[in-house]
């Protein structure tokens, strides 16, 4: 657990530890002052027979013993109140520290996950990732860190109180310590395996809950149309029931020993009183010692219960700690300042600007040499020995049947996937992990499925920027090129400030894709990759956007992935893929003549256009 703390958190933890020791000292003092006070109450003559008390009595000018006892009682009360205040302050410091660690761990998980290669997300369910960031980090704070801090704090308190009892009456203190300690230890050893199994069950059930909810609302339109509400409810309910049962079981197992041991404590107090009387001490002399043990028990029992609960909850949430530690270790964010001024790339390879991200210079060609790619856990390659060249400022297309490898090839050009073999060269510079981000600074990307956030049109076009950072003139320029400016200004109630709703539910599919195209154009990229980006548009809008893209291509390279071949008629070169290989290449007219498969696709596309 300490390995999860940052250096600053380790310093703060030292401060919390100091507060824990202060709490223990104050709790011990609260027990320690009981003995002399009860002794004075049982025999007020000690005020005068004790030299220190007699001196204090005289100096303060008291005329009666009762008044002096009231003062001593008031001081005792102040010490007890102060010890409780220190305890409350320590609990507050521990709670604040615990949730501060949770905030940083959740942020670190988010950063670590987001900085992983795109391929990582192909093999991991997003529900599990979201659950770890939002829920399991909270479970770590509530179920691991806070119980551990409480166990440590009250362990220190218990140790100090027990030490004081040993000073008072070693034999009796030893008996009390062994009885209480063995009782809690026996209970914990009995249930610890149950707690570990229950904790693993809770975590698995929590993942299933998140998957069911995420999939239900992620496809809510299909759920409503197909009347599949009952399916998702029935899928969620067993996981929710398992989760609830596991949580209830852990809390019951953490609380039940308290009530049994409180009964045991009452019996021990009675036995202690009888022991003191049987040892030959009179009731008057035994009363102060008995009172000290009673108050010590009053302080000690909650401390022991907190220690037990800390271990029990830690055991129950062991799987949470293991998962977070594994993910935080495996998904380390990139080191800060790794590419500082002393480690910049050679001047010939990068272009810099004080207002723009560093970009890899691209003014000649994108070259793919013998490029092969295998998706994880697959035997057949999705791309096999692809070799092609895309000149700067050209308009090219990747086409072919579904599954031919078009999107995979585009993802490699975008730097999202690492080739299994072969290489990509930008103006002769091999694309590597070190310069990938500089290459991506040149790119604009329009996927087939556009994700819109529940914010304004402007925020969705200038995706990922704070409102104050948005260049509204660039937003409008991009919207005009994407042929959506007139719709935004004339049809939407608040123009560019209109809220589009979660996932863009308040705009049509075609409008959503045009917003996606405007988003890609916002940063004025040198290369634009469109993955079926016009598939939801009508023929006229598609034609206008293709014409606009072709017209503004003066300083841009366009790479289009398309099924509808009307999109590629203006392309300089079309690459036809089949089973991960380039089956044919050439202009649209050349491929019509050379490739029967391309001709069939074009004929099918023209027939569909007539129907539309």
What would the pLDDT profile of 423-437 be if each residue is shown by its tens digit? 999 998 999 888 888
For 107, the token pair is 């942020």
CATH superfamily membership of 357-442+528-533+557-612: P-loop containing nucleotide triphosphate hydrolases (3.40.50.300)
Q: What is the mean pLDDT of residues 604-609?
A: 56
Pairing of strands 365-373, 421-426: antiparallel
| pLDDT confidence tier of residue 458, bands split at 50, 70 and 90 | very high
CB-based burial, 237-264: b 16+ in 10 Å, e otherwise: eebbebbeebbebbeebbeebbeebeee
Q: How confident is the model at residue 280 (pLDDT cuts 50, 70, 90)?
A: low
Q: What single string gives the DSSP state of each residue in 536-584?
A: TS-HHHHHHHHHHHHHTGGG-EEEEEESSGGGGTT-SEEEEEETTEEEE
Average pLDDT over residues 543-558: 72
CATH 3.40.1230.10 fits 2-196+255-330, yes or no: no
Residue 322: alpha-carbon gap to chain centroid: 15
CB 460 within 8 A of CB 515: yes
Residue 109 has pLDDT above 80, yes or no: yes
Tens of pLDDT, residue by residue over 229-239, are 888 888 889 98
Residue 145 makes CB contacts below 8 A (sequence gap 6+) with 1, 98, 101, 102
How large is the average pLDDT for residues 505-522? 81
Average pLDDT along the chain:
80
d(CA 162, CA 579): 76
- Determine which helix (DSSP H) or strand (DSSP E) holds 423, and give its type and residue range: strand 421-426
Per-residue pLDDT for 241 more than 50? yes
- Structure token digits, residue 574: 């079309």
pLDDT band at 539 (very low <50, low <70, confident <90, very high): low
Average pLDDT of 253-281?
67
**pLDDT classification of 530: cutoffs 50, 70, 90:** confident
pLDDT at residue 293 greater than cutoff 70: no
Q: Dihedral of CA 59/60/63/66: which sign?
A: negative
Is residue 332 left, alpha or beta, with left meaning phi > 0 and alpha meaning psi from -120 to 50? beta
The predicted pLDDT at position 287 comes to 60
353 beta partners: 356
Say if CB 578 and CB 585 are below 8 A apart: no
3-class DSSP state for residue 363? coil
Per-residue confidence (pLDDT) for residue 353, from 0 to 100 = 40
Q: What is the pLDDT of residues 45-72, one digit of tens each?
A: 767 776 777 777 787 777 777 787 787 7
Q: What angle do CA 360, 365, 367 make, to 5 degrees?
A: 100
Residue 603: how many other CB atoms lie within 10 Å: 12
Tell me whether domains 2-196+255-330 and 357-442+528-533+557-612 share a fold: no
Average of per-residue pLDDT across 385-408? 87
Q: How far apart are CA 358 and CA 442, in angstroms?
A: 9
**CA geometry: angle at 331 spanning 326 and 336, to 5°?**
130
Q: What is the predicted pLDDT for the residue at 13?
A: 93
Degrees to nearest 5, angle at CA 413 with 362 and 587: 85
* Domain 444-524, CATH class in plain words: alpha beta
Residue 612 CA to residue 343 CA, distance in Å, equals: 56
Question: CB–CB of 69/45 below 8 Å?
Answer: no
Are 449 and 488 contacting, i.e. CB atoms less than 8 angstroms apart? no
Query: Poorest-confidence range of 144-148, 344-348, 439-443, 518-522?
Result: 344-348
Contacts of residue 463, defined as CB under 8 A and 6 or more positions apart, other chains included, come to 453, 519, 522
Residue 112: what pLDDT?
Answer: 81
Of 91-100, 117-126, 350-359, the one with minimum mean pLDDT is 350-359
What percentage of the chain has pLDDT greater than the value 90?
10
Q: Once rounded to an integer, what is the mean pLDDT over residues 334-351?
A: 41
DSSP state of 344: P
- Say if residue 151 is exposed, middle or buried (CB neighbours under 10 Å; 0-12, 13-18, 19+): buried
Tell me how far apart the alpha carbons of residues 195 and 313 are, in angstroms, rounded to a whole number: 8
Helix, strand, or coil (residue 303): helix
Residue 217 has pLDDT above 90, yes or no: no
More confident: 193 or 178: 193
Choice between 353 and 449, residue whose per-residue pLDDT is larger: 449
Res 209 pLDDT > 90: no
Structure token digits, residue 382: 């999705």
Contact of 415 with 445, CB cutoff 8 Å:
no
List beta partners, residue 373: 383
Check whether 282 has a pLDDT greater than 70: no
Coil vs helix vs strand at 550: helix
Determine if the pTM surpasses 0.75. no
Asked if pLDDT for residue 21 goes beyond 90, the answer is yes
Provide the pLDDT for residue 351: 44
Order of strands, sheet of 573-578, starting from the edge strand that comes earlier in the sequence: 443-446, 527-531, 557-562, 395-400, 573-578, 581-586
**CA atoms of 165 and 289, how far apart (whole Å):** 10
The rounded Cα 244 to chain-centroid distance in angstroms is 22
The first and second tokens of residue 214, run together, are 């995420």
Mean pLDDT, to the nearest integer, of 32-37? 70
Q: Is the pLDDT of residue 469 over 50?
A: yes
Q: Say if residue 226's pLDDT is above 80.
A: no
Residue spans of alpha helices (H) in 414-561: 436-440, 457-461, 472-481, 485-491, 509-522, 539-551
CA distance 25 to 30: 9
Q: 592 versus 53: which is more confidently predicted?
A: 592
Provide the pLDDT for residue 453: 80
The domain limits of the chain are 2-196+255-330, 357-442+528-533+557-612, 444-524
Q: Is the pLDDT of residue 337 over 50?
A: no
**What pLDDT is attached to residue 19?**
93
Check pLDDT > 90 for residue 92.
Answer: yes
Spatial separation of the C-alpha atoms in residues 245 and 239, rounded to whole Å: 10
Instruction: Give me the pLDDT at residue 328, please.
Output: 82
What percent of the chain shows pLDDT beyond 70? Answer: 79
pLDDT of 168 over the 50 cut: yes
């Amino acid at each position: 657990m300490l390995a999860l703390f940052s250096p600053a958190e380790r310093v703060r933890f030292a401060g919390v530890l100091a507060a824990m020791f202060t709490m223990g000292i104050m709790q011990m003092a609260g027990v320690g002052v009981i003995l002399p006070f009860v002794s004075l109450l049982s025999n007020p003559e000690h005020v005068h027979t004790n030299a220190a008390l007699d001196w204090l009595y005289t100096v303060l000018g008291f005329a009666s013993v009762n008044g002096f006892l009231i003062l001593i009682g008031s001081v005792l009360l102040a010490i007890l109140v102060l010890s409780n205040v220190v305890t409350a302050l320590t609990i507050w410091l521990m709670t604040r520290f615990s949730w501060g660690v949770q905030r940083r761990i959740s942020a670190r998980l988010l950063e670590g996950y987001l900085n992983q290669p795109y391929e990582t997300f192909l093999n991991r369910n997003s529900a599990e990732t979201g659950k770890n960031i939002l829920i399991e980090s909270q479970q770590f704070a509530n179920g691991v860190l806070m119980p551990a801090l409480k166990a440590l704090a009250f362990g220190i308190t218990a140790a100090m109180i027990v030490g004081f009892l040993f000073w008072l009456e070693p034999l009796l203190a030893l008996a009390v310590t062994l009885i209480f300690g063995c009782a809690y230890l026996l209970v914990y050893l009995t249930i610890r395996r149950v707690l570990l199994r229950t904790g693993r069950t809770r975590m698995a059930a929590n993942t299933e809950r998140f998957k069911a909810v995420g999939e239900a609302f992620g496809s809510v339109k299909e759920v409503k149309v197909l009347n599949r509400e009952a399916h998702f409810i029935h899928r969620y309910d067993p996981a929710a029931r398992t989760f609830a049962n596991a949580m209830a079981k852990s809390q019951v197992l953490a609380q039940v020993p308290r009530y049994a041991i409180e009964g045991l404590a009452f019996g021990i107090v009675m036995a202690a009183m009888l022991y003191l009387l049987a040892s030959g001490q009179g009731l008057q002399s035994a009363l102060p010692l008995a009172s000290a043990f009673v108050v010590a028990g009053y302080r000690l029992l909650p401390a022991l219960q907190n220690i037990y609960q800390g271990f029990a909850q830690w055991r129950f949430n062991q799987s949470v700690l293991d998962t977070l530690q594994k993910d935080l270790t495996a998904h380390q964010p990139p080191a800060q300042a790794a590419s500082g001024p002393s480690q910049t790339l050679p001047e010939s390879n990068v272009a810099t600007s004080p207002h723009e991200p560093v970009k890899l210079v691209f003014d000649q060609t994108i070259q793919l040499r013998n490029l092969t790619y295998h998706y994880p856990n697959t035997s057949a390659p999705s791309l096999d020995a692809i070799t092609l060249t895309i000149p700067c400022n050209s308009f090219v297309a990747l086409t072919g049947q579904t599954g031919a490898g078009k999107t995979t090839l585009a993802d490699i050009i975008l730097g999202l996937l690492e080739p299994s073999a072969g290489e990509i060269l930008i103006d002769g510079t091999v694309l590597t992990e070190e310069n990938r981000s500089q290459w991506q600074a040149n790119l604009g990307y329009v996927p087939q499925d556009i994700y819109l956030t529940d914010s304004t049109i402007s925020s969705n076009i200038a995706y990922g920027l704070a409102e104050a950072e948005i260049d509204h003139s660039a937003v409008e320029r991009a919207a005009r090129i994407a042929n959506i400016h007139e719709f935004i200004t004339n049809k939407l109630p608040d123009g560019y400030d209109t809220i589009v709703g979660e996932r863009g539910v308040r705009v049509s599919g075609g409008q959503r894709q045009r917003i996606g195209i405007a988003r890609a154009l916002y940063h004025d990229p040198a290369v634009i990759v469109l993955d079926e980006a016009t598939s939801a548009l009508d023929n006229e809008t598609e034609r206008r956007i293709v014409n606009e893209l072709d017209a503004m291509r003066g300083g841009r390279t366009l790479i289009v992935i398309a099924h509808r071949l009307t999109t590629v008629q203006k392309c300089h070169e079309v690459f036809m893929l089949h089973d991960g290989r380039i089956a044919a290449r050439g202009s649209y007219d050349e491929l019509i003549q050379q490739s029967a498969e391309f001709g069939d696709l074009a004929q099918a596309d023209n027939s569909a256009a007539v129907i539309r």
